[in-house]
Amino acid sequence: MRVRVFYHDKCFDGASSAALFSRFYRERIRGDVDFVYSGLLHRAGALFDEKQFDGDENAIVDFKYSSSPRITWWFDHHESAFLTPADAAHFEHEQSNRKFYDPGFKSCTNFLATVAEQRFGFDPRPVAELIYWTDIVDGALYEDARSAVEMKAPAMKLTMAIESAPEPGFVKRLIPLLAYEPLHKILEEPLVAAVLPSLLERHQRSIDILRARTEEKDGTIFFDITDQELEGYNKFIPYYLHPDSIYSVGLSKSSFRVKVSVGSNPWSKRAPSVNLAKVCERYGGGGHARVGAISFEPTDNEAAHKAAQEIVEELRASIRDRE
């Protein structure tokens, strides 16, 4: 039995969701199974290559919905979970009891664990640490920006490695460890221990770069690091540097996209009033109410910069209107 698990790549919650799904499936569905992991990234154009839906079963976790009949399991918690109204309608008529959606959960891992326990009798207690930390990481539930940036907890170091490790197969090799090992033990695995020193050094360098590049005006930070190889930067650094901010809009670039990241400061004394998922959806992106992103083709620098500037102006105007 071969099960292919598609997950949100370069994301702690995505990798953890794949790990928890694998453990749940092996314990509650069938044990004689081989898992194959495939990372998915938000990019301009088609998000899925249906030729890859080649497992005896195919699951998508922590990523957008696909109406393909080859997808047999789906779990997601993003507000922007459906690419089209037709996909949303398809899900509404789904009768398999294998596809689940709830944007009220902070993490897909916690959502998946809850459904697996309530519907299938899965025991989530052995993975309680993983569930706890995915809620903190994906829900930005850190005590303060310093906790999010200083990387002291094992989960924070693993998040950094998942988001920034250069080796293409790194996350796929990490997922089975997340399913069964304590997080501090995973840090000692050669796979992880080999990359941490250079990634921690890169993290410190990214703080210096963002200190020089970020500008805050009307409670909204803007920065452009498209000339740097920093797409996996820690998204809380802007708020660490500008603690009085409400929003941030950043431009970054990788080999396959130009990314506009739009976020809100979890520790701001002034609550954000704009739904960032809805803002990003207007440009073909999405996310959650408090954080979202838009992907453009690598050659679409002009369109990405135009979108970023429009969003910055919209957010700054929303704050000026409140004051």
Which pLDDT score is estimated for 166?
Answer: 76
**Residue 270 structure tokens:** 């002034």
Picking from 54, 112, 48, the residue whose alpha carbon sits closest to that of residue 83 is: 48
**pLDDT (0 to 100) of residue 45:** 67
Closest among 166, 192, 170 to 181, alpha carbons compared: 192
Q: What are the pLDDT tens digits along the chain (323 aa)? A: 999 999 999 999 999 999 999 999 999 999 999 999 999 988 766 688 889 999 999 999 999 999 999 999 999 999 999 989 999 999 999 989 999 999 999 999 999 999 999 999 999 999 999 999 999 999 999 999 999 999 899 999 999 999 988 788 999 999 999 999 999 999 999 999 999 999 999 999 999 999 999 999 999 999 999 999 887 789 999 999 999 999 999 999 988 899 999 999 999 999 899 999 999 999 999 999 999 999 999 999 999 999 999 999 999 999 998 76
Cα separation, 261 vs 277, in Å, equals 11
State the CB neighbour count (10 A cutoff) for residue 143: 9
Q: What per-residue confidence (pLDDT) applies to 211?
A: 97
b vs e for 206-223, b when ≥16 Cβ sit within 10 Å of the residue's Cβ?
Answer: beebbeebbebebbbbbb
CATH 3.90.660 fits 2-192, yes or no: no
2-192 and 206-322 agree in CATH topology: no
The confidence score (pLDDT) of residue 35 equals 98
Q: CA 108, 1, 94: angle at the middle one, nearest 5? A: 45
Q: For the domain bounded by 206-322, which CATH number is listed?
A: 3.10.310.30
pLDDT of residue 323: 67
pLDDT the model gives residue 108: 98
User: 13 CB contacts (<8 Å, ≥6 apart)?
Assistant: 62, 107, 108, 109, 134, 137, 138
Q: What share of the chain is helix, strand, coil (3-state, %, to 5)?
A: 45, 15, 40
Which pTM value belongs to this model?
A: 0.87
Q: Are 291 and 264 in contact (CB under 8 A)?
A: yes
Determine contact, residues 260/281, Cβ cutoff 8 Å: no
63-69-73-75 Cα dihedral, nearest 10 degrees = 30
Q: Domain spans of the chain? A: 2-192, 206-322
- Quickly tell me which residue has 């620098």 as its tokens: 301
